[in-house]
Amino acid sequence: MKHTIRIICTSIVACTLCLIMVADAFAQQRRVVRKPKLPACSAGASAVLARYKVEKGEALPATIRKSLTKKKGDAEKGLEAAVNRGKGNCLACHQIASVQAKVDESDAETVKTYGNHGELGPPLNGVGARYSRGELRMILVDPKKAFPDADTVMPAYHTRNGLKDVSRACQRRVMLSAQSIEDIVAFLEGLK
Amino acid sequence: MKLALLTMLIVIVSLPGQASAAGDGKTEAVKPTAEGHPLKELWSGYHYAEPEVRNMQDSEADNPAMVLFKKGEGLWKQVDGRANKSCASCHGDAAKSMRGAAATYPAFFKLTEKPQTLTGRINLCREKFMEARAFPYESEPLLALTIFVKRQSKGMALAVAEDGPLKPFLDKGKAYYTSRRGQLAISCAGCHEKYAGKRYRSEKLSQGHANGFPTYRKSWKTTGSLLKQINQCLARVRANPLKAGSDNLANLQLYLASKANGLVVETPAVRE
């Protein structure tokens, strides 16, 4: 009799333990599935906005003479930010001969990174000679001020002025950080 | 006087309808378009596609979306729901009853006094008359039935009503289409009207017409609805997606269809 009770008790305990474990496993699985996942805006997006002053330019009606950051722009990082699809993605619309030259047609990785240049905007070859540093900065920060008559499709990379219907994940963010802007400006200055 | 006006109206309305309605599904351009149209000529996405992609669309055997057409054909006759009916119980032979239907959708729906999309109409029939559950958006049966019904109008020129009770909805659709949106602040028109034929990174932009949907996209590796396409475009500019069954979507679909009036139905299209 005692023996049977002990067996029954042990099995009840074992069963309960087992059930708890199974339930826990299910709960955990559900936790993983139900985890609210807000899509990240993009690799380049920044929630910090630099202040800047718009002045009258030489080749363009507007320019931003002063750097947005204390740190000097790094042309190499600028190239990376310009081609990266989650950052500048400038190649979506612009051709740049010196970047195209990096493409090795037999290497899918370089084609993906440096190839497939779009055609919505003018080629950027020689922009470093056409515009001052401040004007390049202006074009990137807010191209509608740089080309006021063009009704341009070029995105503004460092202002939220006039934006509407921005996706939930990207609200309160600009497309590129101030440092990325300075880096890309340094890269563009080198396109002579 | 009234008669003269009416004839004039008919002439004006029939002017842009110069596209081939030969029924072979090959779209010629509509040119020139009627005055006031934002595009001078209308070209289907087919025109911008590579020959290899066009051949895929043209061949029933190679068009991957034709599998869904076949499934749709089966679903048309399949009894479902508490009313014990199929689409065919009410509409009979789709080749007759559905011929031309897709060319006039979205259409004004008296009950709601709003534009009704074809996909919405299919689900409405299911719920109201078959007493069956609506198919979820983007689900295989809904895509299949939409393709099956639309293909009954293959090669027919789109002829969506632009006046009358639909006008205010059309205007809303146009306002949506032409306003800049998202973090990139580009409108639909910004890409598809200004730059059709140009490359956006690796993709060649078309005029963005909806005459071939649901479409098999090679980049998707599947067949998708117009909503899927629109939401991909919206994601590109980092704007909020549109919701299935929403007024915004119906209005935009109406504008897209009316804007393409004269182009022929190509469903199911194949694109890159």
For A52-76, give the DSSP string. ---B--SSSS-B--S-SSSSPP-HH
Using a CB–CB cutoff of 8 Å, tell me whether A42 touches chain B. yes
**DSSP letters of B214-258?**
SEEETTTTEEE-HHHHHHHHHHHTTBPPPPTT-HHHHHHHHHHHH
The CATH number covering residue A187 comes to 1.10.760.10
Task: With respect to residue A21, please indicate whether it lies within any of the assigned structural domains.
Answer: no
Q: What confidence tens digit (pLDDT) does each residue in B131-145 have?
A: 999 999 999 999 999
| Secondary structure element (H or E) that encloses residue B270, with its range | strand B269-271
Task: With respect to residue A3, please indicate whether it lies within any of the assigned structural domains.
Answer: no
Which pLDDT score is estimated for A35? 46
The domain containing residue A153 runs over which residues? 44-160+173-192
> Which one of the listed residues B87, B125, B188, B233 is annotated catalytic?
B233
Task: With respect to residue A62, please indicate whether it lies within any of the assigned structural domains.
Answer: yes
Which pLDDT score is estimated for B23? 41
pLDDT over threshold 60, residue B66: yes
Using a CB–CB cutoff of 8 Å, tell me whether A156 touches chain B. yes
Q: Rounded to a whole number, what is the distance in Å from the CA of B257 to chain A's nearest CA?
A: 23
ipTM for the complex? 0.87
Task: With respect to residue A75, please indicate whether it lies within any of the assigned structural domains.
Answer: yes
Distance CA A63, CA A135 (A): 4
At how many degrees (to 10) do helices A178-189 and A133-141 cross? 130
Q: Are residues A115 and B193 in contact, defined by beta-carbon separation less than 8 angstroms?
A: no
- Residue A91 has its nearest CB partner, among B201, B234, B240, at B201
Task: With respect to residue A37, please indicate whether it lies within any of the assigned structural domains.
Answer: no
Find the mean pLDDT for residues B4-27.
43
Q: Are residues A41 and A170 in contact, defined by beta-carbon separation less than 8 angstroms?
A: yes
Instruction: Give me the number of domains chain A comprises.
Output: 1
Task: With respect to residue A177, please indicate whether it lies within any of the assigned structural domains.
Answer: yes
Which tokens sit at B255? 């504008």
Using a CB–CB cutoff of 8 Å, tell me whether B85 touches chain A. no
Q: State the pTM of this model.
A: 0.87
Per-residue confidence band for A15, with pLDDT thresholds at 50, 70 and 90: low
Active site residue B233: yes
Task: With respect to residue A10, please indicate whether it lies within any of the assigned structural domains.
Answer: no
Q: Rounded to a whole number, what is the distance in Å from the CA of A164 to chain B's nearest CA?
A: 5
Which pLDDT score is estimated for B134? 96
B199, closest residue in chain A (CA to CA): A118
Which tokens sit at B156? 């027919």
* Coil, helix or strand at residue A12: helix
Percent of chain A with pLDDT over 70: 81
Q: What confidence tens digit (pLDDT) does each residue in A172-184 have?
A: 999 999 999 999 9
Distance CA A149, CA A98 (A): 29
Q: What confidence tens digit (pLDDT) does each residue in A81-140 have?
A: 999 999 999 999 999 999 999 999 999 999 999 999 999 999 999 999 999 999 999 999
pLDDT over threshold 70, residue A78: yes
Per-residue confidence band for B17, with pLDDT thresholds at 50, 70 and 90: very low
* Coil, helix or strand at residue A78: helix
Per-residue confidence band for A23, with pLDDT thresholds at 50, 70 and 90: low
Task: With respect to residue A61, please indicate whether it lies within any of the assigned structural domains.
Answer: yes
Q: Are residues A187 and A133 in contact, defined by beta-carbon separation less than 8 angstroms?
A: no
Q: What confidence tens digit (pLDDT) does each residue in B119-132 have?
A: 999 999 999 999 99
pLDDT over threshold 50, residue B111: yes
Find the mean pLDDT for residues B25-32.
73
